[in-house]
Amino acid sequence: MTARTRPEIATARRVVVKVGSSSISGENSAKIAPIVEALAAAHARGTEVVLVSSGAIATGMPYLLLGERPSDLATQQAAAAVGQNVLIYRYQEALRPFRIVAGQVLLTAGDLENATPRSNARRAMERLLGLRILPIVNENDTVATHEIRFGDNDRLAALVAQLIGADALVLLSDIECLYTRPPDEPGARPIHRVEYGDDLHGFEFGSVVVNSVGTGGAATKVSAARVAAASGVGVLVTSADLVDSALRGEDIGTWFDPNPEPTSTPATGPLRRVVPARALDTLAE
């Protein structure tokens, strides 16, 4: 059943959680353990959990002796190839005490745009979930030349939520909630809830930015949340440090109400690749 409100996340049948590079790489690699603990707790309550995790390039950088994110595509691909292996190992080691097995799923934009690979991806993840495996999804950065430049996995998480008919999507960030403008600026106010169809024009969400380990920004999260909400998936945006509270349905973060009348069911209908009407003029492409 689709989570129509925050508290319903706690009893949702299927939830997609997205975590970004900055939350799990470098000095923050130790945060994998508490994130996994929260996922395991939801798993124990009977929720089917899918994790969309960035971080392959960032995780691989130290092994290539790189001090900052590489700018050339070949080195990005090399770092991703090394880092994805290490990243999955770290997740599996953190999951081991809970007797949960991870299943790696690497996707490109083409996989979700074309009917045959999209059907194959859906079938594989449905079977993994049926076997109580925790799928860990990431862009296939080693081969996805366009998406590796596009940036963040927020949109991928929204598309995965649609693909598998998730009841809720949790987008983890570095801050507790979204604000009407960058939170370090005067007059910034927290956004508690976004009703479906709300016109957010005039709010100043940061566009895509690139730091030393990854890409992202509030705008990409808003854009992804609007895409998922349009197809009937409730979305919560909050801090990675609050993932356990988020999955327990506590009153935190920014909640996006799902479309009460989606035009197609997420699991069977076509994937939406555009932001709904009246979306932000300032959103990143």
DSSP states of 195-258: -TT---TT------EE-SS-EE-HHHHHHHHHHHHHTT-EEEEEEGGGHHHHHTT-S-SEEEPP
pLDDT over threshold 80, residue 269: no
3-state secondary structure of 51: strand
275 DSSP 8-state letter: P
Mean pLDDT value across residues 210-221 = 61
List phi, psi (to 5°) of 181.
-155, 170
> How would residue 103 be classed by pLDDT, with cut points 50, 70 and 90?
very high
Domain residue ranges of the chain, discontinuous segments joined by +: 6-256
Tokens of 118: 């999209």
Q: Please name the fold of domain 6-256.
A: Carbamate kinase (3.40.1160)
- Residue 267 is predicted with a pLDDT of 46
**Residues 87 and 53: beta-carbon distance below 8 Å:** yes
pLDDT over threshold 50, residue 82: yes
Tokens of 222: 């808003």
List phi, psi (to 5°) of 70.
-65, 150
Alpha-carbon distance of 139 to 52, in angstroms, equals: 9
Positions at the binding site for ATP: 18, 173-174
> How would residue 263 be classed by pLDDT, with cut points 50, 70 and 90?
low
In this prediction the pTM is 0.88
Tokens of 33: 């353990």
Strands of the chain (E only): list them.
Answer: 14-19, 48-53, 102-107, 134-139, 168-173, 193-194, 209-210, 215-216, 234-239, 254-256
Q: Model confidence over 228-240: pLDDT tens digits?
A: 999 999 999 999 9
> How would residue 146 be classed by pLDDT, with cut points 50, 70 and 90?
low
pLDDT over threshold 50, residue 147: no
Mean pLDDT value across residues 145-168 = 80
Question: Considering the chain, what is the average pLDDT of its residues?
Answer: 86
Q: Model confidence over 56-77: pLDDT tens digits?
A: 999 999 999 999 989 888 999 9
Positions at the binding site for substrate: 54, 141, 153
- Residue 278 is predicted with a pLDDT of 32
- Residue 216 is predicted with a pLDDT of 53
- For the chain, give me the number of helices (H) and strands (E)? 10, 10
Positions at the binding site: 18, 54, 141, 153, 173-174
């969309």: which residue's tokens?
A: 52
